[in-house]
Amino acid sequence: MRKEITRILSFLFVIFMTASIVLCIDLTVRYSGQAEHLEEKNRYVYLAPNRNESFWSDIARGMKNADAVGNSDTLLLEYKLEENIKACIREVRLTQAAGVIMRGTSGVDQEIQELTGEGVPVIFVNSDVEESGRTSYIGIDNYEAGRHAAEVLAEKADGKGQVLVVVRSLTSSNQSQRLQGIQDVLADYPDMELVHVLEDRGSLLELKEKLLFILQTYPELDAIISVEGVASENIGDILKNESIVK
């Protein structure tokens, strides 16, 4: 008989401020003045993976506020698919931006270095790829965040139990760093077992199908750690709707 899950640890990283469908969509909102005055302002570009998620839209709102009081005008570009990000960065170069803010992403080192080589600063938020050549990073230490989450869980679970970790993408540097921190801490607890790492790829349907399968496979599962915020809320809804927790 399946033991009811009593401990679910989910942590949502809200770090800074935050914001295509084919490749890269211009979602520009002229936050700060009329277009005819654009040449008087610094043009910045915000490259966002999904403006509909609260984290990224919070960043966009922060830029709106900064535009309203400063000498800047922000162009918002959104991409839905990771494979389109290189095309989006190339489009950014055509905007003659004075600076770029984007999520740290692997595999685009050349594109980032071309921007910075032209004197365009590139700021990473939420996740970092230090070797990319980016100008700076604003956000948490993701590895230490993963360690802290696992330490809190180990304390709450008395150093025992089966653990599931949920990630959106194993190729995302922030999530892989958080996962590594979790793994390193759990390795110090011989009575704690990381039974599976579930990658949902941002799909609610995939998350639900995989989660229910894992719960059937590991009926004694004690805890779930989600390393990103959207899945955290969805996991709670799934467990409640399936009457696994109250």
pLDDT tens, the chain, 246 aa long: 344 443 333 332 322 222 222 344 444 433 233 333 334 568 888 888 776 677 788 888 888 888 888 888 888 888 776 677 888 888 888 888 889 998 888 888 898 999 999 999 999 988 888 888 899 998 889 999 999 999 999 999 999 999 999 998 888 888 999 999 999 999 999 999 999 999 998 888 999 999 999 999 999 999 999 998 778 888 888 888 877 765
- Report CA torsion sign: 68, 74, 75, 76: negative
Q: Give the start-end residues of each E strand in 140-244.
A: 161-167, 192-199, 221-226
pTM of the predicted model as reported, rounded to 2 decimal places:
0.71
Contact 75, 45 (CB under 8 A): yes
Question: Is-contact 155 193, C-beta < 8 A?
Answer: no
